[in-house]
Amino acid sequence: MSDHGIYYLTIAEASAKIASRELSPVELTEAVFARIEATDEQLNAYNRLMKASALAEAIASADRAKTGALLGPLDGIPVGVKDLYDTAGVITTGGTGAYRQRVPAQDATAVRLLREAGAVIVGKTNTHELALGGTTNNAHYGPTRNPWRTDRVPGGSSGGSGAAIAAGLALGALGTDTGGSIRIPAALCGITGHKPSHGLVSRGGVLPLSLTLDHAGPMTRSALDCALMLNVLAGYDPRDLDSVPRPKQDYAAGINEPIRGLRLAVIPSLLSECQPAVVASFEASLEVFRSLGVEIGSAEPMAGFDDWKSETLPIMITEAASYNEKILDDIPPSVSEPIRTMMNRGFEVKAVAYQRALDFRKVMEQRYEQALATGGFSAYVTPTSPQVAELIAADPTNEPPQPLKFRNTGVFNQNRQPSISIPNGFDADGLPTGLLISAARWDDATALRIAHAVQQVTDWHTKHPGV
């Protein structure tokens, strides 16, 4: 097998080869690090590599493989970790200068669970500073570049994770998502990213942006791979005060069940202002669904309401200001000016405005759940991002705001429903587009099954950039 075949394997493919002893975890890990050495100076997907510990983890996995004692499908799989997740003894910066020397004493819960499953932790992936942005054009650690066009952004804030998977620098990665930060990089980098139901995956040991809206989740090449990672990551954790005890579930078990007969809802208002290539890819995806025997309808859960983003904005900026108050007050020069300015607005929000925003979020959650139930729909389908990847701004401290980028994804942070982005095409310049599939809360299995069904009859998720 060529190195190209190794570092672009899916988790499911690599796991099967490791189990059959056709592929060694050490060989796989070395191929990934060779790929990083060859390309990451150009892409800047990683802030920090953990090569020594990763090779030790790979050797331990190889030893288990020899004795038939593998710990599961993630055993021996190279995984990147967004630089918001604590890693014991390894600097976790959150993408800000304030935390350049911050060394956690213990792993984030999600990192611990990956290690316990035998995953090989490759390193810490670059993020938009403190997760507050959609470009990963980081003023402290440099811009991450999109592997499809290196003059373009990879999306954010989990842009390092998105670029790493797209370019073969990891087989899976951890991301976080407050308004789209898993799914936007997935769409812009041509990979798969799943935002689980709020409360399903622990954020214990993850630097917060807005705990009302923050989600932790997997980024991979396929929906099946996301399901395999979610099997490890899902579970109650007292470290996360929003974690909800749920029955243990195998998200990969029913993923091959056909989707014929399901009803999916398009949200017409989320198609407005989308770029023509995005609309074309979306319409092609609807035809794929119809060919699979799926009925397409429409719903407008927030019909009659004003712009939901204005109503709910106080949540994120107030909570971001609260969680980051110490570094904003004590060492403001180590937080870049635009991030500091946005967060400082949170200190100006009145308590009554914050409470109204929380109440409005609950209305959104209720209406999105009800629209699925009353319409007999299994999920919503929309474009992930209304736009493809834009040019990297020359000055990360002077980027133009792009609220439209988060419009479609941010809805599903507010309503706490599971939401997965899969690749569904390219524009004329070879930039990827994404399809967003969002199901009822706690019905992550259905979102993953629908995404997997599409990926069985399309090949967008198998395409790789030429970087």
The structure tokens listed for 240 are 């996360």
Give the pair of three-digit tokens for residue 8: 């672009």
| pLDDT (0 to 100) of residue 2 | 46
Parallel, antiparallel or unpaired: strands 432-439 and 379-383:
antiparallel
Which residue has 């993953």 as its token pair? 448
Contact 401, 439 (CB under 8 A): no
Residue 419 annotated as catalytic: no
Q: Tokens for 89?
A: 């003894």
Instruction: Give residue 88's pLDDT band: very low, low, confident or very high (50, 70, 90).
Output: very high
d(CA 98, CA 334): 5
- pLDDT of residue 332 exceeding 70, the answer is no
For the chain, what is the radius of gyration of the CA atoms?
20
Question: Which of 61, 181, 210, 336 is the catalytic position?
Answer: 181
Out of 43-47, 170-174, 204-208, 337-341, least confident range: 337-341
Which one of the listed residues 24, 157, 222, 243 is annotated catalytic? 157
CATH number of the structural domain 3-304+356-462:
3.90.1300.10
pLDDT tens for 201-210 read 999 999 999 9
Based on the residue annotation, tell me whether 61 is a catalytic residue of this protein: no
Residue 277 pLDDT level (bands cut at 50, 70, 90): very high
Indicate the average pLDDT of the chain.
Answer: 96
2 is catalytic: no
Q: Is the pLDDT of residue 119 over 70?
A: yes
Q: What is the DSSP letter of 136?
A: -
* Residue whose entry in the numeric block shows the structure tokens 């995404």: 451
Q: What is residue 268's predicted lDDT score, i.e. its pLDDT?
A: 97
* Sequence letter at residue 133: G
Task: Please state whether the peptide bond connecting residue 210 to the residue before it is cis, i.e. omega within 30 degrees of 0.
Answer: no
What average pLDDT does this structure show over 443-450? 98
Please give the pLDDT value at position 397: 83
DSSP state of 459: -
Looking at residue 67, its amino acid is T
Query: SS3 for 377?
Result: coil
Q: What percent of the chain has pLDDT over 70?
A: 99
Q: Which listed residue (82, 124, 195, 405) is catalytic?
A: 82
Given a cut of 90, whether residue 297 has pLDDT beyond it is yes
Question: Mean per-residue pLDDT for 329-344?
Answer: 87
What pLDDT, on the 0 to 100 scale, is given for residue 307? Answer: 80
Spatial distance between the Cα atoms of 184 and 193, rounded to a whole number of angstroms: 8
Spans of all domains in the chain: 3-304+356-462
Question: How confident is the model over 172-185, as a mean pLDDT?
Answer: 98
User: What was the pLDDT predicted at 13?
Assistant: 98
Residue 191 has pLDDT above 80, yes or no: yes
372-390 burial: b if 16+ Cβ within 10 Å, else e: beeeebbbbbbbbbbbbbb
Please, which residues have CB within 8 angstroms of residue 345's CB and are 6 or more apart in sequence?
A: 317, 321
Q: Determine the average pLDDT of the residues in 392-413.
A: 91
Does position 346 have pLDDT exceeding 60, yes or no?
A: yes
- Which string of b and e fits 37-73 if b means at least 16 CB within 10 Å? eebbeebbbbbbbbeebbbebbbbbbebbeeeebbeb
Which tokens in the block code for residue 460? 């967008």
Identify any residues that bridge with 239 across adjacent strands, giving them in sequence order.
none
Q: How far apart are CA 179 and CA 129, in angstroms?
A: 15
> What is the reported pLDDT for 309?
83
What is the phi/psi pair of residue 348, to 5°? -90, -10
Average pLDDT over residues 225-241: 98
**Distances 120 to 79, 96, 268 between C-alpha atoms, Å:** 6, 25, 42
SS3 label, residue 426: strand
**pLDDT of 4:** 56
Residue 1 has pLDDT above 70, yes or no: no
% of the chain residues with pLDDT over 90: 94
pLDDT band at 3 (very low <50, low <70, confident <90, very high): very low
pLDDT band for 330, please (50, 70, 90 cuts): confident
395 has pLDDT over 80:
yes
The average pLDDT across 396-416 equals: 91
